[in-house]
């Protein structure tokens, strides 16, 4: 916390001048106290993910990653949803563990997670990331759960890929990144790299329309001008889900 000090010197002039000086001292001390309170109110006790001199401006926004256990038709095993996220520096990532076992987050990158980075069953873990970097991580107990976290400065335009996926997590379509934190005014482009048409739809808000249909090999663009959290999916494959958090 920054400390603010006021160094004032009162000279022995006339009585009127002395009274004016006293009043000035009182106002200066009041202003000093206001600055200290404001600084205390905006400071955050939350630890950052990694220490580095390359700090970037904060956004003070949140994005949630669920730790889930997949059903048989989804390929079994545990997973992070969304598995890939792209966030702005200063974003707080909240891992919610909705499984029946504890999960410990680990990464091959030093200094990202610690032994305390455990997400208890039905619990959560919060971390604020301030440094531009790409982090790959997994669950120590269930390494089949893999996640990627990209921290990058705000950009005027960002892209999302719709891709086909096969492997341990089952076959289907995925969004990359599936979760994003962006600034108001950002243009998002969805590129359809799958073998069929994809139709985007919102969970609760009508951010997409019939024109949001993306033919294979084509793309669709949208500018997000209102802050909020937008959950969406593809009607072609309802399990293909994404979230966009828009901050001012």
Question: Any idea what the CATH number is for the domain that residue 192 is in?
Answer: 2.60.40.420
Q: Which pLDDT score, from 0 to 100, does residue 171 have? A: 62
pLDDT band at 229 (very low <50, low <70, confident <90, very high): very high
Q: Which pLDDT score, from 0 to 100, does residue 244 have? A: 97
Q: Which pLDDT score, from 0 to 100, does residue 211 have? A: 79
Cβ–Cβ under 8 Å, residues 78 and 67? yes
> Could you tell me if residue 49 is inside a domain?
no
pLDDT band at 139 (very low <50, low <70, confident <90, very high): very high
pLDDT higher than 90, residue 125: yes
DSSP reduced 3-state for 213: strand
> Which residues lie across from 246 on neighbouring strands?
182, 228
* Segment 143-175, tens digit of pLDDT: 999 999 999 999 999 999 999 986 555 568 999
Question: Residue 9 gets which letter from DSSP?
Answer: -
Q: Which range of residues forms the domain containing residue 17?
A: 13-43
> Could you tell me if residue 106 is inside a domain?
yes
pLDDT higher than 80, residue 243: yes
pLDDT band at 182 (very low <50, low <70, confident <90, very high): very high
Q: Which pLDDT score, from 0 to 100, does residue 170 have? A: 53
Mean pLDDT rounded to a whole number for the chain: 78
Residues 146 and 230 in one domain: yes
pLDDT higher than 80, residue 220: yes
Average pLDDT over residues 232-243: 93
Q: Which pLDDT score, from 0 to 100, does residue 44 have? A: 28
Residues 34 and 91 in one domain: no
Residues 109 and 192 in one domain: yes
Exposed e or buried b per residue across 222-238, where buried means at least 16 C-beta atoms within 10 angstroms of its C-beta: bebeeeebbebbbebbe
pLDDT higher than 70, residue 1: no
> Could you tell me if residue 74 is inside a domain?
yes
* Segment 25-82, tens digit of pLDDT: 333 333 333 222 222 222 222 333 333 333 444 466 899 999 999 876 556 789 999 9
How many domains are there within the chain?
2
> Measured between alpha carbons, how far is 236 from 242 in angstroms, rounded to an integer?
14
Q: Which pLDDT score, from 0 to 100, does residue 102 have? A: 97
Residues 139 and 204 in one domain: yes
Residues 134 and 172 in one domain: yes
Tokens of 120: 């208890």
Residue with the bigger pLDDT between 133 and 44: it is: 133
Residue with the bigger pLDDT between 56 and 90: it is: 90
pLDDT higher than 60, residue 196: yes
Lowest mean pLDDT across 4-13, 79-88, 122-131, 154-163:
4-13
Reported as type and span, the H/E element at residue 205 is none
Residues 22 and 132 in one domain: no
Report the predicted TM-score, pTM, of the whole model to 2 decimal places.
Answer: 0.74
Residue with the bigger pLDDT between 205 and 224: it is: 224
């Amino acid at each position: 916390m920054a400390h603010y000090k006021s160094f004032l010197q009162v000279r022995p002039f006339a009585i009127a001048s002395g009274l004016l000086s006293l009043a000035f001292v009182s106002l200066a001390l009041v202003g000093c106290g206001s600055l200290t309170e404001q600084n205390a109110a905006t400071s955050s006790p939350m630890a950052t993910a990694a220490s580095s001199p390359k700090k970037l401006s904060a956004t003070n926004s949140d994005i949630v990653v669920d730790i889930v256990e997949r059903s048989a038709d989804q390929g079994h095993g545990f997973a992070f949803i969304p598995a890939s996220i792209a966030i702005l520096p200063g974003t707080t990532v909240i891992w919610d563990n909705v499984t029946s076992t504890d999960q410990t987050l680990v990464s091959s990158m030093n200094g990202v997670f610690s032994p305390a980075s455990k997400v208890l069953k039905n619990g959560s873990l919060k971390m604020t990331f301030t440094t531009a970097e790409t982090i790959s991580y997994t669950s120590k107990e269930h390494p089949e759960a893999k996640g990627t976290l990209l921290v990058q400065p705000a950009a005027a335009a960002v892209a999302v890929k719709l891709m086909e996926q096969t492997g341990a997590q089952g076959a289907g379509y995925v969004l990359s990144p599936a979760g994003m934190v962006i600034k108001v005014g950002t243009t998002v482009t969805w590129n359809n790299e799958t073998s069929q048409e994809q139709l985007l739809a919102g969970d609760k808000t009508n951010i997409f329309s019939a024109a949001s249909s993306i033919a294979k090999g084509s793309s669709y663009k949208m500018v997000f001008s209102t802050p909020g959290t937008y959950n969406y999916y593809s009607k072609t494959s309802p399990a293909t889900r994404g979230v966009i958090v828009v901050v001012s």
